[in-house]
């Protein structure tokens, strides 16, 4: 599960698309809810909703130098 949800391990665009397609297939499967825990299903659904190239924004703070 961690491998499927980790967006940092795929170096190639094609791999990112393939992983996203695989997760969508799992989420869309009628039997997935019976096999996976509710927590894992929720995590996979969030992954699909965010899309294949989602990344969390990194906040940076600029400081003005003194002197």
Which burial class, exposed, middle or buried, applies to 10 when counting CB atoms under 10 A from its CB (0-12, 13-18, 19+)?
middle
Q: Tens place of pLDDT for every residue, the chain, 67 residues?
A: 999 999 888 889 999 999 999 999 999 999 999 999 999 999 999 999 999 989 887 767 767 766 5
Cα torsion 58, 17, 2, 41: sign = positive
CB hemisphere CA count around 21 (13 angstroms)? 6
Whole-number Å distance between alpha carbons of 61 and 44: 32
Q: Is residue 58 part of a domain?
A: no
The parent domain of residue 38 ranges over: 2-50
Residue 60 lies in a domain: no
Q: Domain count for the chain, please give it.
A: 1
Q: Let me know if residue 19 belongs to a domain.
A: yes
Within-domain flag for 14: yes
Tokens of 44: 């996979």
Its pTM stands at 0.78
């Amino acid at each position: 599960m961690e491998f499927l949800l980790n967006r940092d391990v795929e170096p190639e665009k094609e791999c990112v698309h393939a992983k996203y397609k695989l997760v969508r297939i799992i989420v869309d499967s009628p039997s997935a809810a019976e096999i996976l825990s509710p927590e894992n299903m929720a995590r996979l659904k969030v992954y699909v909703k965010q899309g294949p190239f989602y990344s969390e924004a990194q906040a940076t703070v600029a400081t003005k130098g003194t002197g």
